[in-house]
């Protein structure tokens, strides 16, 4: 009997959904270290991933043909090895559109209405009305990496009366982006933003993309948001742009080094808001990943191409 192995505990409801979609498959779930040796290599489909399971999943005798990971980013996956073994890889892209777009606007609204300073004053029992209070209406949001999350963020931005500028590899139009640029035109787009929002995946092309030159291209006084990948930003260059005042502030959820070291200067910069890589977290996470997995599973069982979130190994996303 073919097997589906989940590297975490599944609820009975989740197991029933899988069994309904693939009645000929045995479903096994549990943490890797608790599973008998050979369970992963004997799986046809693997749900989840861990470094501990990698050796077995990629072993010569492994039967794994498809891996569904629980994250959107796959930059830490052994993509070359998976490609060489003809293992299909699907991610959780689409799960994050709502929580991350809302997280982006949490940063933007907090900055615009000076809430980050108000919270600091509250912690010190200070009644302080100083500061500049902005409005999002009439401002320009530049969204770097327009996919599902970027499109969702742009839709919200338009509802606030903002102009939306997008950057994506193809330059393909999006209904919620007023002006779209290709990645080759990145600097031209950066110069227009009051808010610059990085949602890029991590690839060889995006690693360190936001360096001193990129920050210099951003309009002076802009607010920078990173909810993409930490290593796409040169942190030293970011700190320098903040210290000089070229950037008015930043909202950061991801970092080159995680956890962010306790002595890092970003912690104590009052114009910076930090969250510990939680922008994509939501109480609905697992059910949304299951929706993606079950839709793909039905196609897999029928021998049809997987319809959602298949990773292109050449592009690394």
Question: pLDDT per position in the chain (317 positions), as tens?
Answer: 999 999 999 999 999 999 999 999 999 999 999 999 999 999 999 999 999 999 999 999 999 999 999 999 999 999 999 999 999 999 999 999 999 999 999 999 999 999 999 999 999 999 999 999 999 999 999 999 999 999 999 999 999 999 999 999 999 999 999 999 999 999 999 999 999 999 999 999 999 999 999 999 999 999 999 999 999 999 999 999 999 999 999 999 999 999 999 999 999 999 999 999 999 999 999 999 999 999 999 999 999 999 999 999 999 99
13 is catalytic: no
Rounded to two decimals, the pTM is: 0.90
- Domains in the chain, ordered, with CATH? 3-94+283-302 (3.40.50.720), 97-274 (3.40.50.720)
pLDDT of residue 21: 98
Catalytic residue among 55, 220, 258, 315: 258
What per-residue confidence (pLDDT) applies to 103? 98
What is the pLDDT, as a whole number, of residue 281?
Answer: 96
What pLDDT does 58 receive? 97
Is 56 one of the annotated active-site residues of the chain?
no
Res 56: pLDDT: 96
Active site residue 229: yes
- Among 277, 287, 288, 308, which one carries the catalytic annotation? 277
What are the pLDDT digits (tens) for 261-305? 999 999 999 999 999 999 999 999 999 999 999 999 999 999 999
Rounded to the nearest 10°, the torsion over CA 292, 293, 294, 300 is 120
Contact of 173 with 117, CB cutoff 8 Å: no
- Residue 121 is predicted with a pLDDT of 96
Considering the candidates 96, 103, 176, 229, report the single residue annotated as catalytic. Answer: 229
């Amino acid at each position: 009997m073919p097997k589906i192995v989940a590297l975490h505990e599944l609820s009975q409801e989740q197991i029933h959904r899988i069994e309904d979609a693939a009645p000929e498959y045995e479903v096994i779930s549990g943490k890797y270290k608790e599973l008998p040796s050979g369970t992963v290599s004997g799986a046809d489909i693997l749900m989840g991933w861990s470094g501990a399971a990698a050796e077995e999943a990629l072993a010569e005798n492994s039967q794994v043909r498809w891996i569904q990971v629980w994250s959107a980013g796959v930059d830490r996956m052994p993509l070359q090895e998976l490609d060489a073994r003809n293992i299909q890889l699907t991610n959780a892209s689409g799960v994050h559109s709502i929580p991350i777009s809302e997280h982006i606007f949490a940063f933007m609204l907090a900055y615009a209405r000076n809430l980050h300073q108000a919270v600091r004053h509250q912690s010190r029992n200070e009644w302080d009305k100083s500061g500049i209070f902005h409005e999002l209406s009439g401002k320009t949001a530049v969204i770097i990496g327009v996919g599902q999350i970027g499109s969702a963020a742009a839709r919200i931005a338009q509802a606030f009366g903002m102009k939306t500028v997008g950057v994506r590899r193809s330059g393909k139009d999006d209904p919620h982006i007023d002006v779209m640029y290709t990645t080759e035109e990145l600097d031209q787009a950066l110069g227009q933003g009051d808010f610059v929002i990085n949602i890029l995946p991590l690839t060889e092309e995006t690693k360190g993309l936001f360096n001193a030159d990129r920050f210099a291209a951003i309009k002076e006084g802009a607010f920078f948001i990173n909810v993409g990948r930490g290593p796409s930003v040169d942190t030293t260059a970011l700190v320098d742009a903040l210290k000089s005042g070229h950037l008015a502030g930043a909202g950061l959820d991801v970092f080159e080094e995680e956890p962010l070291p306790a002595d890092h200067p970003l912690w104590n910069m009052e114009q910076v808001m930090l969250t510990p890589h939680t922008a994509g977290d939501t109480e609905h996470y697992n059910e949304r990943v299951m929706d993606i997995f079950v839709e793909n599973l039905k196609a897999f069982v029928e021998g049809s191409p997987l319809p959602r979130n298949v990773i292109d190994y050449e592009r690394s996303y």
